[in-house]
């Protein structure tokens, strides 16, 4: 864990206090209506759309000086997007940052939920590119809003039906739609459907920010989250037929890593912190010796 | 007869005495121009009503008014809900109205692309309404879709094809299946044979006629083609300049027309 | 026994709006009644309005004045003033009609055309189809034609389909518009027999028959329509 003096000359966490207040109001409303997309006046951020401007604004609005921030991208703390957002908040807020899930009070994420269960008091902030789960089926915003208002969600199942008709099973593997507290259908952002069960009854607060689309939505702690499915094609998460090659973890989401140009490859934890923590405890996978060399 | 049975019988009688849809003094003005004016009629279960007239006569305006797609300037349209109560359609909440539209009603558009999802499979097009009311069994949805495709003479092997790959006649038959799958009580049709070749038209009309008889549907069909009205409808409403000029049994209107305009229409039919 | 149908003061005039509104009176003051189990035949020269009477009794033509009282569901209904819905109900249950020409429905087979009135009254299809087949055999329509739509049939074949369709139900009143006009002697006899059976079953029939032999064989009474000709006007 490292603390950083604020060095930027900007207001704390970059955004001015009025803007943060506006975003907090949207967040409060979103928490009050789990799964409902609350419009907010998304600001220009010093990074391009698609780099997590929605998540960054949410994080900036909830960040306090004593918070400890972790940022992951596809489960990893050391990819460009994660590093630059972490650096950004180090400079503009001077907060402590960490790569350890257990130590963080706020975790901003793109496309993954950490493997270790989150606990009360933690906040998970998702970067969302397209918040509207009905968008690809119904392009009109006026119509999708009405469909949410009237709970007209038949179209979501049309999409899943098409999946089964084409592939024999539900082939949607990420951004898999969920229904919140039996009411709103929500896009969990492009996380793998492997992570959907982690959203259900999570002890942590989950906040979703879409910068370009100017929407915030939320799951308060202990919220009922159900993945949509058919009775005869129930929701299932991806299964991996081997453990992590580095730490031997099973029942975790694995990334494929190409080792050479002769077809060599290995499967390792996508959650780097999880993998490193296990290795620190002395747990080993089949390639850990070789990979360490 | 015990009290409960007597009550049921009373209920039956009262429901038979009430029309399914009751249109009273419906007018629609577009500024100073008249869309339709002072239209009155009732439709009962199992009846097919044809609204005929040339383009600009107000028949499509009227259809849109009674199908809640266009609010009339004045007048009322009451519908007998499944619980037997007559409700003013424009007093319904939007949720109720939309629920009605996708369960108890059907709407067959002249252009099938307006009534179909062109980029999802035929099976999903048929299944959508069922999924919307909570059907969640893929196997059963597929079986129902296959059955309905068969009833509209589309081969089961086309179930996973998109309507983009279908001919005009097939698209129109698919649109009909998509509408009828929830067993609606009232179906609106706007020139359903409009864009089709004559031979394709005949097949579609025959199909519609069979389904209407078999399912006991009430249908309100807008057409400019008196042969379509003769073949499908029990009653006919002739419109000109936004007004109903004659209204009655279809065969009587065609064989013994009273109004000057109806006489003109009938005498203008080409004999084959 | 109560009459099945009573006509009084019935009048019909055609107004030709496309010809400056000229009026063509066809009849006035027509009055007669039909008894169950009897066949009445409309007599008079062609153009005297026989067909118009049948069409008014079926609700196909509008009556300008007068009454057509029909026993229907135990009530008396004035068909001349009835709502379209009531007329459709009368046609379904009480008044059958065999027209002179078959109105062909595209793509529907002869057998289904004949069976349709039974199916419409809720009889299950296999049973209705069986009855339709019985009637078509009796009328000597070759079985190979049954599954074809009658559009391409000869006039006589079409008429037999039409007769079978009209006779398949047990309507208490049956209107016949020249049902034997294009039939050969054998089939004419079949139709005469079928009419006799309807009479035994208590059906009230009203028909137009140009063939004197048939007329003689079926008629219990002749209604002379020349008596209903409009007076004081040259037509």
pLDDT of residue B3: 44
Low-confidence ranges of chain C (pLDDT < 70): 232-235
C-alpha span between C112 and C89 (Å, rounded): 21
Q: Is C235 in contact with C22 (CB distance < 8 Å)?
A: no
C-alpha span between C101 and C156 (Å, rounded): 10
Q: What would the pLDDT profile of B161-190 be if each residue is shown by its tens digit?
A: 999 999 999 999 999 999 999 999 999 999
Sign of the dihedral defined by the CA atoms of residues C116, C120, C125, C129, in that order: negative
pLDDT of residue C235: 43
pLDDT of residue B14: 43
Residue with tokens 């049902």: C179
Mean per-residue pLDDT for A287-292? 60
pLDDT of residue B204: 86
C-alpha span between A171 and A189 (Å, rounded): 16
- Structure tokens, B142: 């597929």
User: To which H or E segment does residue A123 belong?
Assistant: strand A123-127
C-alpha span between B79 and A278 (Å, rounded): 67
Active site residue A247: yes
Q: What would the pLDDT profile of B231-266 be if each residue is shown by its tens digit?
A: 999 999 999 999 999 999 999 999 999 999 999 999
C-alpha span between C50 and A38 (Å, rounded): 77
How many angstroms separate the Cα of C217 from the Cα of each of B155, C129, C167?
54, 30, 18
C-alpha span between B222 and B51 (Å, rounded): 5
- Structure tokens, C204: 């009230």
| Dihedral, B61, B67, B68, B74 alpha carbons, nearest 10 | 50
Note the Cα A160 to chain centre separation in Å: 22
Mean per-residue pLDDT for A75-88? 93
Lowest mean pLDDT among A144-153, B17-26, C89-98, C226-235: C226-235
Q: What would the pLDDT profile of B27-86 be if each residue is shown by its tens digit?
A: 999 999 999 999 999 999 999 999 999 888 999 999 999 999 999 999 999 999 999 999
C-alpha span between A103 and B114 (Å, rounded): 55
Q: Is C179 in contact with C159 (CB distance < 8 Å)?
A: yes
**Residue B130: helix, strand or coil by DSSP?**
helix
Residue B40, chain C, CB below 8 Å: the answer is no
Indicate if the pLDDT at residue A136 is higher than 90: no
pLDDT of residue C232: 53
First to last CA, chain A: 27
Residue B93, chain A, CB below 8 Å: the answer is no
Q: What ranges do the domains of chain B cover?
A: 3-104+186-271, 117-183
Q: Whats the size of chain B, residue-wise?
A: 272
pLDDT of residue C162: 93
Instruction: Show Cβ contacts of residue A193 under 8 Å, excluding neighbours closer than 6 positions.
Output: A172, A173, A174, A176, A227, A235, A237, A238
pLDDT of residue A290: 52
- Give residues 99 to 138 of B whose Cβ lies within 8 Å of A: 102, 117, 120-121, 123-124, 127-129, 131-133, 136-138
Q: What would the pLDDT profile of A207-248 be if each residue is shown by its tens digit?
A: 999 999 999 999 999 999 999 999 999 999 988 988 999 999
pLDDT band at residue A293 using 50, 70 and 90 as cut-offs: very low
Indicate if the pLDDT at residue A276 is higher than 60: yes
Determine the residue of chain A that is closest to B95 in CA distance: A150
pLDDT of residue B15: 46
Q: Which of A35, A54, A55, A211 is catalytic?
A: A35
Tally the C-alpha atoms within 13 A of residue B166's C-alpha that lie toward its C-beta: 28
pLDDT band at residue A3 using 50, 70 and 90 as cut-offs: low
Output helix, strand, coil percentages for chain C, rounded to the nearest 5.
40, 25, 35
Q: What ranges do the domains of chain A cover?
A: 17-135+171-227, 254-292
**Residue A121: helix, strand or coil by DSSP?**
coil
Q: What ranges do the domains of chain C cover?
A: 104-170
pLDDT of residue B207: 87
CATH number corresponding to A17-135+171-227: 3.40.50.11310
Q: What would the pLDDT profile of B107-150 be if each residue is shown by its tens digit?
A: 999 999 999 999 999 999 999 999 999 999 999 999 999 999 99
- The pTM of the full predicted model, rounded to 2 decimals, is 0.86
pLDDT of residue B200: 84
C-alpha span between C35 and B233 (Å, rounded): 33
Q: Is B148 in contact with B124 (CB distance < 8 Å)?
A: no
Q: Which of B113, B109, B250 is nearest to B187 (CA)?
A: B109
Q: Is B234 in contact with B49 (CB distance < 8 Å)?
A: yes
pLDDT of residue B2: 44
Residue from the list C16, C88, C120 with its beta carbon closest to the beta carbon of B213: C120
What is residue A116's DSSP assignment?
S
- Class of the domain covering B3-104+186-271: alpha beta
Contacts of B121 in chain A (CB under 8 A): 162, 165
């Amino acid at each position: 864990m490292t603390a950083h003096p604020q060095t930027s000359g900007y207001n704390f966490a970059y955004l001015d206090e009025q803007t943060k207040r506006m975003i907090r109001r949207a967040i409060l409303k979103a928490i009050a209506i789990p799964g409902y997309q609350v419009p907010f006046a998304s600001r220009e951020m010093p990074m391009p759309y698609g780099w997590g401007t929605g998540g960054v604004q949410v994080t900036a609005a909830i960040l306090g000086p004593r918070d400890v921030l972790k940022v992951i991208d596809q489960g990893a703390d050391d990819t460009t997007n994660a590093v630059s957002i972490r650096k950004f908040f180090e400079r503009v807020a001077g907060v402590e940052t960490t790569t350890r899930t257990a130590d963080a009070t706020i975790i901003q994420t793109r496309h993954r939920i950490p493997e270790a269960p989150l606990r009360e008091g933690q906040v998970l902030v998702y970067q969302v590119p397209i918040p509207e789960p009905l968008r690809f089926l119904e392009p009109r915003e006026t119509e999708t809003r009405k469909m949410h208002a009237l709970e007209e969600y038949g179209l979501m199942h049309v999409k899943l039906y098409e999946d089964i008709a084409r592939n024999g099973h539900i082939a949607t593997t990420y951004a898999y739609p969920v229904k919140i507290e039996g009411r709103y259908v929500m896009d969990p952002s492009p996380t793998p459907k492997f992570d959907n069960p982690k959203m259900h009854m999570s002890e942590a607060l989950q906040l979703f920010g879409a910068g370009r689309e100017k929407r915030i939505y939320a799951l308060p702690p202990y919220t009922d989250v159900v993945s949509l499915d058919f009775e005869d094609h129930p929701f299932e998460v991806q299964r991996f037929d081997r453990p992590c090659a580095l730490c031997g973890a099973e029942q975790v989401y694995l990334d494929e890593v190409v080792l050479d140009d002769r077809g060599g490859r290995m499967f390792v934890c996508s959650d780097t912190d999880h993998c490193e923590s296990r290795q620190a405890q002395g747990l080993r996978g089949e390639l850990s010796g070789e990979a360490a060399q | 007869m015990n009290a409960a049975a007597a009550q049921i019988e009373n209920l039956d009688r009262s429901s038979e005495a009430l029309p399914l849809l009751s249109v009273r003094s419906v007018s629609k003005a577009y500024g100073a121009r008249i869309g339709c004016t002072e239209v009155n009629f009732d439709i009962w279960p199992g009846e097919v009503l044809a609204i005929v007239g040339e383009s600009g006569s107000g028949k499509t305006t009227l259809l849109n008014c009674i199908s809640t797609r266009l609010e009339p300037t004045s007048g009322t349209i009451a519908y007998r809900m499944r619980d037997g109560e007559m409700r003013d359609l424009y007093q319904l909440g939007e949720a109720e109205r939309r629920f009605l539209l996708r369960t108890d009603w059907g709407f067959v558009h002249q252009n099938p692309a307006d009534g179909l999802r062109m980029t999802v499979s035929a099976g999903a097009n048929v299944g959508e309404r069922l999924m919307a009311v909570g059907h969640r069994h893929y196997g059963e949805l597929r079986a129902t879709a296959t059955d309905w495709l068969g009833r509209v003479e589309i081969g089961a092997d086309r179930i996973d094809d998109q309507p983009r790959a279908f001919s005009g006649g097939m698209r129109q038959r698919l649109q009909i299946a998509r509408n009828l799958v929830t067993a609606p009580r009232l179906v609106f049709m706007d020139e359903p044979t409009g864009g089709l070749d004559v031979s394709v038209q005949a097949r579609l009309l025959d199909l519609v006629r069979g389904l209407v008889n078999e399912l006991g549907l009430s249908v309100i069909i807008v057409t400019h083609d008196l042969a379509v009205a003769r073949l499908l409808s029990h009653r006919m409403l002739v419109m000109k300049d936004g007004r109903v000029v004659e209204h009655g049994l279809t065969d009587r209107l065609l064989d013994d027309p009273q109004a000057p305009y109806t006489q003109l229409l009938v005498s203008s039919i080409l004999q084959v | 026994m109560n009459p099945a149908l009573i006509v009084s003061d019935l009048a019909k005039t055609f107004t030709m709006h496309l010809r400056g509104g000229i009026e063509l009176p066809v009849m006035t003051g027509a009055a007669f009644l039909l008894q169950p189990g009897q066949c009445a035949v409309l007599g008079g020269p062609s153009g005297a309005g026989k067909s118009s009477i049948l069409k008014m009794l079926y609700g196909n033509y509008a009556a300008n004045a007068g009454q057509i009282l029909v026993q229907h569901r135990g009530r008396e209904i004035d068909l001349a003033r009835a709502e379209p819905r009531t007329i459709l109900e009368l046609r379904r249950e009480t008044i059958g009609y065999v027209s002179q020409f078959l109105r062909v429905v595209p793509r529907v087979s002869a057998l289904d055309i004949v069976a349709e009135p039974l199916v419409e009254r809720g009889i299950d299809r296999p049973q209705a189809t069986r009855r339709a087949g019985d009637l078509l055999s009796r009328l000597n329509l070759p079985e190979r034609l049954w599954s074809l739509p009658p559009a391409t049939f000869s006039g006589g074949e079409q008429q037999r389909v039409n007769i079978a369709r009209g006779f398949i139900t047990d309507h208490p009143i049956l209107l016949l518009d020249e049902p034997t006009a294009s039939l050969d002697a054998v089939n004419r006899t079949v139709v005469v027999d079928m009419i006799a059976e309807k009479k035994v079953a208590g059906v009230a029939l009203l028909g137009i028959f140009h063939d004197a032999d048939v007329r003689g064989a079926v008629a219990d009474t002749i209604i002379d329509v020349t008596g209903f000709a409009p007076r004081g006007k040259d037509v």
